[in-house]
Amino acid sequence: MAYEGLMVSVSGVRGRVGEALSPEVVARFAAAFGAWATARRGAGETRAVVLGRDSRVSGPLFHRVVLSALEAVGADVIDLGLTTTPTCQLAVEHHHAAGGLMISASHNPIEWNALKFIGPSGSFLSAEEGAEMRAAMEAGTSYATWDRLGHVTSDFDAAARHVEQILGLPFLDVEGIRDRRFHVALDAVRGAGAVIMPMLLERLGCTVRAINLEPDGRFPRPPEPVAENLGDLEALVRESGAAIGFATDPDVDRLALVSERGEAIGEDYTLALAARTVLKHRRGPVVTNLSTSRVVEDVAAAAGVECLLAPVGEVNVAVKMRDVGAVIGGEGNGGVILPELHLGRDAPLGAALLLQLLVEEGRPLSAIVADHPRYVIVKDKLDRPPVPLDSVYQALRGAFPEASPDTQDGLRLSWTDRWVHVRPSGTEPIVRVIAEAPSLPEATDLVSRSRKPVEALFAK
């Protein structure tokens, strides 16, 4: 099958609606996944596939397409309807399902949508599993006869179970959080977080002032919860006197923070501060990806534990966490993973851990952030050249011979106080160039120098 115009990655397949991502494409991938997942199910796993979608405008259309495709290959569908990616992952585990499909393009702009493939463990498919599933699809999908079609049931309790599992974490001081009666500001970007985030925060005794709670997928701002997109939340924090502001992306696996001063502090600090909380109660390695701020490494070092790096992509981090017995991990885009809950990024979890940190520290968020070294990250992107990036990596290693290279995912060059990472995106047709340094001019210079070999490929 030709994948032109589609982004096929470790987390699934995504594209622009009405262009590369058509109902036919969605049906073919969904049917192939359903047939593959149910055929390889293990002992104790059912023929069920859990299905959920975020609030994107194209979500209801693709939801109907995927529902029919799964039934057509004989998979029983447990339908969550509008939900979050972590809720869908937890539901796969709860129902002992053969797998799960989440219809969501995460932080991508409004014209995108995607299918995210979830294995029976509740984690996204690994690269090997994804390749196996696509090979099965290309070999041809067998459809069920009339007497073997799947059937559909609904699960209306998945979000409530998700909240209960967070509240049941043994080191979460639920009563202590409730006693503080925090005022919290929330920006749900008209995404799936509009239901679960207020539910969790109210169970934790918080008074919530929220914007963008209508889950219709008509995003009022760019959906990626990076600092430059959070001006309205910053204003809401200042106006309401909130102790903290939370912003989620459309499928609620990423969380960004605004301090009580009304200042977005950068999505990399979500994982760092969550790790600071967990490492007071659990001892073990921390895992994050190669494009995450050094502040996470600083938190691990202060706790006397190791911080290990994995390729970008939730499943890559989750696999390494499992392999090394990590107590917490995630990605610098605001994704927090706690193995005691599940091996997936989880914004409601992150919010609970941050409230726990405010209780334990007894200080404002801005004061806690001030404990940590401040780095500046500059993120840039270029169109992806039509040729491999090997020559780019070679040129960069020659330009920075004193740096330590890491080739797990593109090329990351690191020094004691800075790094630069050049890699092709798995979710967009671009090359990402990300650098971090103690100051903006130093980070900008690293990005500028690292762009040149990529730009040279277009000049040839």
Q: Which of 9, 55, 58, 106 is catalytic?
A: 106
Whether 106 sits among the annotated catalytic residues: the reply is yes
Q: 347 is written with which tokens?
A: 């914004």
User: Which positions are annotated as active-site residues?
Assistant: 106
